[in-house]
Amino acid sequence: MQNKVTAYIGLGSNLSGPRMQVSKAANEIASISASRVVAFSPLYLSKPMGPQDQDDYINAVIALETRLSALQLLDALQAIENTAGRVRKDNRWGARILDCDILLYGNETIENERLTVPHYGMKVREFVLLPLADIASDLLLPDGTPVSLLANEIDNNGIVKLPLLK
C-alpha cells in the first residue's frame, strides 16, 4: 500500500434532489477504504455549464486523504456515481444525477485514457475554484499556481454559497 495522498474531489448534481445527492455522495466518499475525509466545503448553487435549459447545480469539494492509487480512487468514485443512478451520455454538459471528479491527486500530473489530473477544466470553473479555496486556500496546483489567486480572479457567474441547513 502506498503513502497517503490528499486528493480533492469535486461533486456536482442537478437532478433528483441535488443537495441530497451531494450530501449522500459525501457520506459514501467518507466510507471509501484506506481513506478519510479531511475537509468538506460549503455547498454552492451554480448555473449549468452547458445547455441552459436544465436546472442549476449543487456543487462542493471534498479533501480526502487516501492510500488508494488515483485509478483505484476513480473506480470507487464511479461506483458511487453508478449507485446514485448516474448514466453516462454523449452529452458532456447535460444534466446529471451525480458527478464526482478527481480535481487533484497530491501534486501529481496524470494523463491517461481514464483520468486527467489536475482536472482539465478546474482553472476556469468557479464551481470548482470557490469551494476548493474554501477548504484549501493555501494550496498550490502542480504547476505552482495558487488556488487563492485563481479563486480571486475568476468571474463568479452568479454562483451562490448556500447557508448550512440546521
Active site residues: 86, 96, 99, 101
3 state SS for the chain: CCCCEEEEEEEEECCCCHHHHHHHHHHHHCCCCCEEEEEECCCEEECCCCCCCCCCEEEEEEEEEECCCHHHHHHHHHHHHHHHCCCCCCCCCCCCCCEEEEEEECCCCEECCCCEECCCCHHHCHHHHHHHHHHCCCCECCCCCEHHHHHHHCCCCCCEECCCCC
